[in-house]
């Protein structure tokens, strides 16, 4: 089984939680990104339960920055942000991801996500 969907939002790569004294918090843009991607994932899953088999994930991020620009973020942080958003919706645990492809593009901002359940 496979799903593919697109999210018309600015990609926000993963960042470590910030601290304010004893309180830890995430950047609100990162939290909003995860929530928007999660909502689109729920629609794409069409009420199905999360995948149980190993998964291949492909993420295409499109930003206004060149992929080599500092502002574009690292490839692994884009993958982590998407995986965090999909955890519990498309799969039970991100350990199920056994193959991942991430591509950064300079274009109109959006994210394309494809998940394919691999039968072993």
Residue for token digits 């199905």? 48
Per-residue pLDDT of 62-97, as tens digits, reads 988 777 766 667 889 999 999 999 999 999 999 999
DSSP 85-105: HHBTTTBS-GGGEEEEEEEEE
Give the chain's domain count: 1
pLDDT value of position 41: 98
Predicted pLDDT of residue 20: 72
Task: Tell me the residue range of the domain where 98 lies.
Answer: 2-117
- CATH at residue 35: 3.30.1330.70
> What is the model's pTM?
0.87
With contact defined as beta carbons under 8 Å apart, do 12 and 61 qualify?
A: no
Give me the pLDDT at residue 18, please: 61
For residue 25, CA distances in Å to 34, 80, 106, 115 come to 14, 17, 29, 29
């Amino acid at each position: 089984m496979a799903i593919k969907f697109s999210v018309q939002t600015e990609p926000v790569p993963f960042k470590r939680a910030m601290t304010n004294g004893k309180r830890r918090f995430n950047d609100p843009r990162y939290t909003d990104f995860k929530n928007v991607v999660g909502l689109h994932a729920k629609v794409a899953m069409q009420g199905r339960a999360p995948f149980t088999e190993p998964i291949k994930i492909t993420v295409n991020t499109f930003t206004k920055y060149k992929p080599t620009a500092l502002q574009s973020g690292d490839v692994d942080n884009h993958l982590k942000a998407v995986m965090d958003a999909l955890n519990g919706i498309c799969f039970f645990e991100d350990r199920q991801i056994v193959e991942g492809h991430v591509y950064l593009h300079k274009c109109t901002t959006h994210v394309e996500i494809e998940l394919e359940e691999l039968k072993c």
